[in-house]
Chains A and B, each alone.
Chain A
Amino acid sequence: DAGVIQSPRHEVTEMGQEVTLRCKPISGHDYLFWYRQTMMRGLELLIYFNNNVPIDDSGMPEDRFSAKMPNASFSTLKIQPSEPRDSAVYFCASSFTSGSKNIQYFGAGTRLSVL
């Protein structure tokens, strides 16, 4: 398996533009997570899905952020409109239910720069 695939790897945009980050989880995994990492706040969980259904979106910073998972093999995180403070590395991760285990497999991340 190729692992969790995120695209694009780098995104540079201007303030006010819409940004869409994409994630393809590992086949067979039933959980998908979106994280954001900054120097100031570290690694933060934004939202996660179970079987394509959003379970907890309490980490989503504000209404400008939205996430969807239309099927088991694809998810998007959208920021509209984007602001400079959204600049960060965004990670997607997936895992599968297996007893006590919660092993999350992370993608390589998308580095977002909002100018």
Chain B
Amino acid sequence: GNSVTQMEGPVTLSEEAFLTINCTYTATGYPSLFWYVQYPGEGLQLLLKATKADDKGSNKGFEATYRKETTSFHLEKGSVQVSDSAVYFCALSGGSNYKLTFGKGTLLTVNP
């Protein structure tokens, strides 16, 4: 079945540092890939997505590229802010239905 593996957290960075959160996946066919963000006490919000190989999703300074050859979808941001502190989830959708399969989540804390 489908599965998503993302780097264990927590990740603690200083403001303006570079962020990478690794995500790899296992799926049959051509899944769509997503990064969702969960701020404290809130639901999940879509951060970015990519639906085919070599697509780059981007939003709010975050980027991730769909790499089929390495089955990866790493999240990056060049300069994080305190307001980026949240839990980040990598997810995929593929196969015969549209359910999302999530990674375990990575807690990011950005200190001023």
B and A form one assembly:
no
